[in-house]
Amino acid sequence: MSHPAPLPAGRTGDPPLEATLLAALRAAVGPSNVLTEPDARRGHETDWTGVYRGIARAVVRPRVTAEVAAVLRACSAAGAPVVPQGGNTGLVGGSVPDPSGRAVVLSTGRLRTLDPVDRASGQVTVGAGVSLATLQDHARAAGFEVPVDLGARDSATVGGMAATNAGGIHVLRHGTMRRQVVGVEAVLASGDVWSHLAGLEKDNTGYDLAGLLCGSEGTLAVITRLRLRLVPALPRRVAALLAWPGVGAMVDGLASLRAEVPGLEAAEYFVRAGVDLVRSVFGEPDPFGRPHPAYLLVEAAGTTDPTAELAAAVEGLDEVLDAAVADGPTPRARLWRLRELHTEALAAVGPPRKYDVSVPLPGLPAFVDAAVDLVRSLSGARPLVCHHFGHLGDGNVHLNVLGLADAPGEDVALVDGAVLGLVADHGGSISAEHGIGRLKRPWLHLSRTPAELAGFAALKGALDPAGILNPGVLLPG
């Protein structure tokens, strides 16, 4: 794979080439949609965590697929790297440019078409830049739900969700984003357009290109539209917060809940240290007025009220120490706040080093204990603290290490290697749902074999031979 040579000095490179590129970008999307001023670029140059900061040559904002194709043709001709960016809520540094000042950020924020819901198939075709919250409102108005839901719903886009194969809180019932994508329209680095949006449930005509782009993190193509599966809205829902003596007891209890509550949609866990943190940052009340070691937030939904079914199942759980049931939207939202504010509370006292990983469910309690001990043992002059919470039903743990914010790069790499190595030792995946990005790129070999990595390189070389799409993300740049 060949790559464009680094710019000799400064940010702009060869003036005639730069002028040609900018002129081509302005011709592609209109001058007002090529942002070159630092103030206009700034929000696109730093990721949600604040850890990854870069410099963009320009931020371009195409409105339709043909404009995306023109942008990619212009960048290919100039050898300019392109960073596709949706809502910029990604947590692994994949959505922002590097500090070289060479990359063009392609913001999908104006790709906002929203076709009517196809009620017969339960599908919808949607522009990549539509936010999850907007799609949720659109689907609900037609009596459907979007099967994937996550805390960043107001900003995260469907294109970014497909590109990261987002998971979220309903994977237990509906699977990740990949399972919802039945068709895709995308533009390759060459400017060629793939368009396969019929949404046929049975379509055995060769390679699954939509599936290939799910989890590709902007390295193979820019997704412009998606055909997505919806699920019928289930109007009756109930949530319950259950307190436990430890994570092990919760894992056992969840097995019973899954067997007895078919409408179970979510099973999110957190522990006391996380509750204390959320309370200290946001002033939330203590859910039970007294502390407990571990908490499981479950939600069930159906066409008929699932409260009695859930209550009966909870009744049969010997190790539950306290329980709060919430069946109206406001009390349910109050319980969910406690879980969803974990990410923001950690950001407020951080930034934390984030490791979103998964391990086989039976081994999860031993894994989180080992991770907390390991991180503590790596403390230097300043203590390192490992917080953990996550999507219990999926064996998905969000490890967040505090204390590394100003640490030298080699100390951070040491902790990265130790924590992700521990995941591999426990038979897990180093990325459960956020992707690899820049954060985990050096460690991909822990979850993928040399033969698989050679396959990745072959695909990348075939679809993006000059390596202009998101270099340095997922694969070596």
Ligand X SMILES: Cc1cc2nc3c(=O)[nH]c(=O)nc-3n(C[C@H](O)[C@H](O)[C@H](O)COP(=O)(O)OP(=O)(O)OC[C@H]3O[C@@H](n4cnc5c(N)ncnc54)[C@H](O)[C@@H]3O)c2cc1C
Binding site for ligand X (CB under 6 A): 48, 83-91, 94-95, 108, 128, 150-152, 155-157, 159-161, 163-164, 166-168, 217-218, 222-223, 343, 433-434, 470, 473
Considering the complex, state which of residue 83 and residue 271 has its C-beta at the smaller distance from ligand X: 83
- Answer for the pair 106, 224: CB distance below 8 angstroms, yes or no: no
H or E, element range at 354: strand 353-358
CB of 425 to ligand X, least distance (A): 24
Distance CA 175, CA 391 (A): 12
Considering the complex, state which of residue 76 and residue 95 has its C-beta at the smaller distance from ligand X: 95
Distance CA 393, CA 420 (A): 21
Considering the complex, state which of residue 320 and residue 392 has its C-beta at the smaller distance from ligand X: 392
For residues 93, 75, 182 and 175, what is the CA-based torsion angle, rounded to 10 degrees?
-10
Considering the complex, state which of residue 307 and residue 343 has its C-beta at the smaller distance from ligand X: 343
CB of 477 to ligand X, least distance (A): 13
Residue nearest to ligand X (CB): 160
Q: Other C-beta atoms within 10 Å of 435: how many?
A: 26
Considering the complex, state which of residue 83 and residue 278 has its C-beta at the smaller distance from ligand X: 83
Distance CA 391, CA 138 (A): 26
**Residue 234's Cα: distance from chain center in Å?**
25
Considering the complex, state which of residue 136 and residue 256 has its C-beta at the smaller distance from ligand X: 136
Distance CA 302, CA 238 (A): 9
CB of 436 to ligand X, least distance (A): 9
* Residue recorded with tokens 């790069």: 409
Question: How many residues in total does the chain contain?
Answer: 477
- DSSP category for residue 203: -
Structure tokens of 171?
Answer: 């994977």
Give how far Cα 452 sits from Cα of 55, 315, 431, 449, 474, Å: 32, 47, 16, 5, 13
* Residue recorded with tokens 């430890």: 246
Sequence-distant (6+) residues with CB within 8 A of 203 are none
CB of 318 to ligand X, least distance (A): 30
Considering the complex, state which of residue 309 and residue 464 has its C-beta at the smaller distance from ligand X: 464
CB of 319 to ligand X, least distance (A): 27
CB of 321 to ligand X, least distance (A): 26
Sign of CA dihedral 212, 214, 217, 221: positive
How many Cα neighbours within 13 Å face the side chain of 159?
29
Considering the complex, state which of residue 249 and residue 301 has its C-beta at the smaller distance from ligand X: 301
Sequence-distant (6+) residues with CB within 8 A of 187 are 65, 68, 69, 72, 193, 194, 221, 222, 224
Q: Is 100 left (phi over 0), alpha (psi -120 to 50) or beta?
A: alpha
Considering the complex, state which of residue 114 and residue 374 has its C-beta at the smaller distance from ligand X: 114
CB of 154 to ligand X, least distance (A): 10
CB of 161 to ligand X, least distance (A): 4
Considering the complex, state which of residue 65 and residue 470 has its C-beta at the smaller distance from ligand X: 470
Q: Other C-beta atoms within 10 Å of 451: how many?
A: 7
- Answer for the pair 98, 47: CB distance below 8 angstroms, yes or no: no
Sequence-ordered alpha helix ranges (H) in 223-317? 247-260, 272-282, 307-315
- DSSP category for residue 33: G
Considering the complex, state which of residue 81 and residue 314 has its C-beta at the smaller distance from ligand X: 81
CB of 410 to ligand X, least distance (A): 26
H or E, element range at 366: helix 364-377
CB of 433 to ligand X, least distance (A): 3
Considering the complex, state which of residue 167 and residue 249 has its C-beta at the smaller distance from ligand X: 167
CB of 317 to ligand X, least distance (A): 25
Distance CA 179, CA 177 (A): 5
CB of 391 to ligand X, least distance (A): 7
